[in-house]
Amino acid sequence: DRRREALAAGSPIQPIIKDVGEIYSRLLDHRPVIQGEIRYFVKEFEEKRGLRELRVLENLKNTIFETNEHVLPKCEQAMHDNLNEAFKRLQAANDMIHRLQVREHEERKLQADKLMAREEKRIAHWEEFMKEQQNKQAEVDEEHRKAVERLKEQYSEMEKELAKYVSF
């Protein structure tokens, strides 16, 4: 760069280089403009939004403080009361269901006992019926045997009677 400047210092190109430098800084170098815009934005933000943001943060802090000091304890107490009430109701419902189950169990046991008693009674009745049938069968068999004996005697007598008449 120094050589170029030294060469250009005594030459007629120097005013052209100076003009090109000015054109470059005006058209392509935006740093001074951007810095001015940044300073303006920061100034506007701090003046206009700064107080509003501070008020919003203060309101938020007050809301959080009130929530922590007043609303949260009330909510905890209401939740505790409601949970205790719900627990008591659930316990009562559980006790009622337990009593119903015990009653149903006793009723089933009573039904089973009745069924067993009926079954035993039916079995006893059946055994009695079978004994009665065997006795009747024995009676019928005895009657049949006696009838067969009588018939044998009757036929044997008839044969004797016939034998008397056959000799004629």
How far, in Å, CA of 131 to CA of 127, rounded? 6
Confidence of residue 3 (pLDDT cuts 50, 70, 90): low
Reported pTM: 0.40
More confident position, 45 or 167: 45
The mean per-residue pLDDT over the stretch 142-159 comes to 94
What digits encode the pLDDT tens for the residues 36-90?
A: 888 887 777 777 666 677 778 888 999 999 988 998 899 899 999 999 999 999 9
Three-state SS for 145? helix
| 33, pLDDT greater than 80 | no
Which distant-in-sequence residues (6+ apart) come within 8 Å of 166 by Cβ? Answer: none
Instruction: Tell me how far CA of residue 24 lies from CA of 20, 29, 37, 148, in angstroms.
Output: 6, 7, 20, 153
